Amino acid sequence: MSGCDNAIEYVYQYIDDELTFTRKERIKWHLRRCGDCIGAFEFEESLKLRIAAGGKTEPPAELFDTLRALIEQERNTGASDC
Protein backbone atom coordinates (compact mmCIF):
# COMPACT_ATOMS: atom_id res chain seq x y z
CA MET A 1 0.00 0.00 0.00
CA SER A 2 1.42 3.35 -0.97
CA GLY A 3 1.53 6.28 1.38
CA CYS A 4 -1.08 8.05 -0.71
CA ASP A 5 -3.60 5.21 -0.46
CA ASN A 6 -3.08 5.19 3.25
CA ALA A 7 -3.46 8.94 3.64
CA ILE A 8 -6.58 9.14 1.50
CA GLU A 9 -8.12 6.18 3.27
CA TYR A 10 -7.82 7.83 6.66
CA VAL A 11 -8.58 11.40 5.64
CA TYR A 12 -11.87 11.59 7.55
CA GLN A 13 -10.61 9.92 10.69
CA TYR A 14 -7.55 12.12 10.59
CA ILE A 15 -9.59 15.28 10.40
CA ASP A 16 -12.03 14.05 13.03
CA ASP A 17 -9.08 13.17 15.24
CA GLU A 18 -10.11 9.54 15.53
CA LEU A 19 -6.78 7.97 14.70
CA THR A 20 -4.18 6.51 16.98
CA PHE A 21 -1.15 8.69 17.61
CA THR A 22 1.12 6.46 15.55
CA ARG A 23 -1.12 6.43 12.51
CA LYS A 24 -1.63 10.15 12.70
CA GLU A 25 2.09 10.77 12.82
CA ARG A 26 2.59 8.50 9.83
CA ILE A 27 0.03 10.42 7.82
CA LYS A 28 1.47 13.75 8.94
CA TRP A 29 4.86 12.59 7.76
CA HIS A 30 3.43 11.65 4.39
CA LEU A 31 1.63 14.99 4.05
CA ARG A 32 4.87 16.85 4.58
CA ARG A 33 6.27 15.25 1.48
CA CYS A 34 3.22 14.88 -0.72
CA GLY A 35 1.60 17.89 -2.32
CA ASP A 36 -1.29 15.87 -3.77
CA CYS A 37 -2.38 14.53 -0.42
CA ILE A 38 -1.94 17.76 1.48
CA GLY A 39 -4.21 19.38 -1.09
CA ALA A 40 -6.86 16.76 -0.43
CA PHE A 41 -6.52 17.07 3.33
CA GLU A 42 -6.69 20.85 3.28
CA PHE A 43 -9.78 20.65 1.14
CA GLU A 44 -11.48 18.25 3.54
CA GLU A 45 -10.48 20.27 6.55
CA SER A 46 -11.77 23.56 5.17
CA LEU A 47 -14.95 21.80 4.15
CA LYS A 48 -15.39 20.41 7.64
CA LEU A 49 -14.89 23.85 9.15
CA ARG A 50 -17.40 25.33 6.75
CA ILE A 51 -19.94 22.64 7.60
CA ALA A 52 -19.33 23.14 11.31
CA ALA A 53 -19.78 26.88 10.95
CA GLY A 54 -22.98 26.45 8.98
CA GLY A 55 -24.35 23.85 11.39
CA LYS A 56 -24.98 21.39 8.58
CA THR A 57 -23.99 17.76 8.72
CA GLU A 58 -24.50 16.77 5.13
CA PRO A 59 -21.45 16.97 2.89
CA PRO A 60 -22.03 18.50 -0.53
CA ALA A 61 -21.96 16.25 -3.58
CA GLU A 62 -18.89 17.95 -4.99
CA LEU A 63 -16.90 16.57 -2.09
CA PHE A 64 -17.28 13.06 -3.41
CA ASP A 65 -16.50 14.13 -6.95
CA THR A 66 -13.30 15.77 -5.77
CA LEU A 67 -12.25 12.78 -3.73
CA ARG A 68 -13.01 10.40 -6.56
CA ALA A 69 -11.01 12.55 -8.95
CA LEU A 70 -8.08 12.58 -6.54
CA ILE A 71 -8.14 8.83 -6.11
CA GLU A 72 -8.33 8.35 -9.88
CA GLN A 73 -5.41 10.71 -10.27
CA GLU A 74 -3.35 8.73 -7.79
CA ARG A 75 -4.07 5.53 -9.68
CA ASN A 76 -3.23 7.03 -13.04
CA THR A 77 0.07 8.47 -11.93
CA GLY A 78 1.03 5.30 -10.03
CA ALA A 79 2.32 7.27 -7.09
CA SER A 80 3.88 4.35 -5.25
CA ASP A 81 7.14 6.24 -4.86
CA CYS A 82 5.30 9.12 -3.28
Site map for Zn ion, 21-60, x if CB under 5 A? -------------x--x-----------------------
| Residue 79 one-letter amino acid | A
CB of 11 to Zn ion, least distance (A): 11
Query: Distance between CA 82 and CA 78 in Å, rounded?
Result: 9
Binding of Zn ion by 67 (CB under 5 A): no
Binding of Zn ion by 15 (CB under 5 A): no
Binding of Zn ion by 82 (CB under 5 A): yes
